[in-house]
Structure 1
Amino acid sequence: MKKIAIYIYMLAVKVIGCLTRLFPVQQKVVFLISFEENPAAILKQMEHDKVIPNTVVFYDPRLNVTKISLDFLKLKPKNIAQFIPLMFHLNTAKVIVTDNYFVELAGVKLRHGASCIQIWHANGALKKFGWEDKAAQQRTAADKKRFQAVYKRFTNVVVGSDEMATIFQKSFLQDEAQMLKIGVPRTDYFFDEAKLQANTEWTLKSLKLSNKKKLLYAPTFRDDELHSTSLHLNIAELKQALGDEYQLILKLHPSISNDLEKLEDDFIVYANKETPIETLLPVVDILITDYSSIPFEFALLEKPMIFYTYDLQEYNKARGLSDDYLETIPGPHVFTTTELIEEIKKASFDLEKVRQFAVKWNKYSDGHSSARFVSLLKERLEK
Structure 2
Amino acid sequence: MNIRSLLATFYSAALSVIGFMLKWVQPRNRAVLLVSFQDNARALLNEYEKSDCPFEIEVLYTRHAVSLAKEYPSVASTMINEKNPVHLMRAVYRMFRSKCVITDNYFLLTSVLNKRPQTKCIQIWHANGALKKFGLEDIGNRHRTASDIKRFKKVYASFDYITVGSEKMADIFKRSFGIKDEQLLRTGVPLTDQYFQDDVQHVGDSGKKVILYAPTYRDYHMTSVKLPFSKEQLSEELKGEFLLLVKLHPAVRGHVMLEEHEGMIKDVSELPLKDLLYESDVLISDYSSIPFEYALLDKPMLFYTYDLKEYDEKRGLIDDYEAVIPGKACATRDMLLEELQNIQHAREKIQWFANEWNQYSKGDASRQLLDFVSKLQGGSVKDKSL
Is 1:162 aligned to residue 167 of structure 2? yes
**Structure 1 Cα separation of the partners of residues 233 and 42 of structure 2:** 36
Q: Residue 328 of structure 1: CA displacement? A: 0.8
CA contact (8 A) 1:157 1:180 kept: yes
Q: Residue 116 of structure 1: CA displacement? A: 0.3
Q: Which runs of 5+ in 2 are unaligned?
A: 380-386
**Structure 2 Cα separation of the partners of residues 286 and 139 of structure 1:** 39
**Paired residue secondary structure (1:23):** coil
**Structure 1 Cα separation of the partners of residues 342 and 358 of structure 2:** 29
CA contact (8 A) 1:40 1:68 kept: no
Describe the shift of the 1:156–1:53 C-alpha distance in structure 2 as closer, same or farther (beyond 3 A).
same
**Structure 2 Cα separation of the partners of residues 10 and 238 of structure 1:** 52
Q: Residue 20 of structure 1: CA displacement? A: 1.2
**Structure 1 Cα separation of the partners of residues 292 and 299 of structure 2:** 11
**Structure 1 Cα separation of the partners of residues 70 and 190 of structure 2:** 14
**Structure 2 Cα separation of the partners of residues 110 and 27 of structure 1:** 19
**Paired residue secondary structure (2:220):** helix
Please, what is the CA RMSD of the aligned residues?
Answer: 1.9
Q: Residue 138 of structure 1: CA displacement? A: 2.4
Describe the shift of the 1:128–1:137 C-alpha distance in structure 2 as closer, same or farther (beyond 3 A).
same
CA contact (8 A) 1:46 1:52 kept: no
Describe the shift of the 1:248–1:340 C-alpha distance in structure 2 as closer, same or farther (beyond 3 A).
same
Alignment match, 1:271: 268
Alignment match, 1:253: 249
CA contact (8 A) 2:193 2:362 kept: yes
**Structure 2 Cα separation of the partners of residues 164 and 247 of structure 1:** 34
Is 1:22 aligned to residue 24 of structure 2? yes
Q: Residue 180 of structure 1: CA displacement? A: 0.4
Alignment match, 1:297: 293
Q: Pick from 319, 323, 333: which aligns with 1:323? A: 319
**Paired residue secondary structure (1:330):** coil
TM-score, normalised on structure 2?
A: 0.91
**Structure 1 Cα separation of the partners of residues 278 and 180 of structure 2:** 36
**Structure 2 Cα separation of the partners of residues 115 and 68 of structure 1:** 28
Alignment match, 1:370: 366
Q: Residue 23 of structure 1: CA displacement? A: 1.6
**Structure 1 Cα separation of the partners of residues 39 and 63 of structure 2:** 15
Q: Pick from 96, 100, 117: which aligns with 1:95? A: 100
Of residues 2-11 and 367-376 in structure 1, the stretch that sits farther from structure 2 once superposed is 2-11
CA contact (8 A) 1:238 1:337 kept: no
Alignment match, 1:238: 233
Alignment match, 2:126: 121
CA contact (8 A) 2:224 2:257 kept: no
**Paired residue secondary structure (2:139):** coil
Q: Residue 8 of structure 1: CA displacement? A: 2.7
Alignment match, 1:53: 55
CA contact (8 A) 2:103 2:125 kept: yes
Alignment match, 1:333: 329
Q: Residue 337 of structure 1: CA displacement? A: 1.6
Deviations 1:333-377 (A, max 9, x none): 201122212221233432011111111111111111111111111
Describe the shift of the 1:263–1:19 C-alpha distance in structure 2 as closer, same or farther (beyond 3 A).
same
Of residues 254-263 and 323-332 in structure 1, the stretch that sits farther from structure 2 once superposed is 254-263
**Paired residue secondary structure (1:242):** coil
Letter in 1 for 2:101: I
Of residues 46-55 and 331-340 in structure 1, the stretch that sits farther from structure 2 once superposed is 46-55
CA contact (8 A) 1:229 1:258 kept: no
Letter in 2 for 1:137: R
Question: How many positions carry a matched residue from both structures?
Answer: 372
Of residues 312-321 and 143-152 in structure 1, the stretch that sits farther from structure 2 once superposed is 312-321
CA contact (8 A) 2:62 2:80 kept: yes
Deviations 1:309-348 (A, max 9, x none): 1111111112221111111111122011222122212334
**Paired residue secondary structure (2:203):** helix
Q: Residue 52 of structure 1: CA displacement? A: 5.9
Q: Pick from 301, 306, 309: which aligns with 2:305? A: 309
Report percent identity of matched pairs.
37
Q: Residue 68 of structure 1: CA displacement? A: 6.5
**Structure 1 Cα separation of the partners of residues 115 and 238 of structure 2:** 56
**Structure 1 Cα separation of the partners of residues 330 and 125 of structure 2:** 29
Deviations 1:110-153 (A, max 9, x none): 53342100000111111111111111232111110110000000
**Paired residue secondary structure (1:107):** helix
**Paired residue secondary structure (1:168):** helix
Letter in 2 for 1:30: V
Q: Residue 26 of structure 1: CA displacement? A: 2.3
Q: Pick from 183, 190, 201: which aligns with 1:178? A: 183
Deviations 1:13-68 (A, max 9, x none): 11111111122222221111111111110111111112163322111212242477
**Structure 2 Cα separation of the partners of residues 97 and 182 of structure 1:** 14
Describe the shift of the 1:335–1:83 C-alpha distance in structure 2 as closer, same or farther (beyond 3 A).
same
**Paired residue secondary structure (1:248):** strand
Letter in 2 for 1:268: I
Q: Which runs of 5+ in 1 are unaligned?
A: none
Letter in 2 for 1:203: V
**Structure 2 Cα separation of the partners of residues 142 and 61 of structure 1:** 28
Alignment match, 1:84: 89
Deviations 1:284-304 (A, max 9, x none): 111100111111111111111
**Structure 2 Cα separation of the partners of residues 67 and 295 of structure 1:** 28
Letter in 2 for 1:181: R
